[in-house]
């Protein structure tokens, strides 16, 4: 049953209910891959503030090439080393993508918990696997442990985003 404001206006299949979950997760994985490309630009060889002070000619190109070889990632030297040293925009962008994924995963988990809610007073449209005993006083109760633990992990990612944001903002001048 499709719902708006928890009302039953439109019928829908289980497939129609679950397909959007898969679609949004695929989209978020693509978004994370795109965002992570920002991390391939590195400021190795920049020295203290990005001026290349006391760095041998060609050092940056050599060390970035070695890093790419060791990691198997397409690392490239930053064009503006001072900007690359003082800016944390790539970290903010990547973590914002992680937060966005966490928000969507958490919503999916909340939907699964609601859809599997108790047979007498809840929706009970889906059955989640019984992975642990429910309750000593309510033996028929099935706890939605996987959605709940995924929610907790999502909450941690969401809160970490605040930490990453504040840490990126807290630098002064070239650092």
Active site residues: 135
Asked if residues 112 and 148 have their Cβ atoms less than 8 Å apart, the reply is no
CA–CA separation, 1 vs 14, rounded Å? 8
Asked if residues 17 and 123 have their Cβ atoms less than 8 Å apart, the reply is no
**SS3 call for 140:** coil
Kind plus residue range of the DSSP H or E element containing 39:
none
CA–CA separation, 158 vs 101, rounded Å? 9
CA–CA separation, 125 vs 96, rounded Å? 33
CA–CA separation, 100 vs 106, rounded Å? 10
Three-state secondary structure string covering 113-132? HHHCCCCCCCCCCCCCCCCC
Tokens of 148: 């709940």
Q: How many CB atoms lie within 10 A of CB 116?
A: 19
């Amino acid at each position: 049953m499709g719902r708006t404001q928890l009302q039953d206006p439109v019928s829908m299949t289980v497939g129609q209910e679950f397909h959007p979950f898969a679609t949004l997760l695929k989209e978020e994985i693509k978004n994370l891959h795109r965002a992570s490309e920002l991390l391939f630009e590195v400021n190795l060889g920049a020295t203290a503030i990005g001026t290349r002070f006391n760095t041998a000619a060609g050092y940056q190109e050599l060390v970035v090439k070695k890093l790419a070889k060791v990691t198997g990632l397409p690392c490239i030297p930053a064009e503006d080393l001072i900007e690359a040293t003082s800016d944390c925009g790539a970290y903010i962008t990547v973590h914002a993508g992680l937060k966005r994924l966490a928000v969507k995963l958490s919503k999916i988990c909340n939907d699964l918990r609601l859809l599997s809610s108790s047979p007498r007073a809840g929706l009970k449209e889906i059955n989640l696997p019984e992975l642990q005993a429910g309750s000593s006083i309510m033996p028929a109760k099935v706890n939605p442990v996987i959605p709940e633990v995924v929610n907790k992990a999502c909450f941690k990612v969401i809160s970490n985003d605040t930490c990453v944001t504040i840490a990126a903002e807290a630098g002064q001048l070239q650092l």
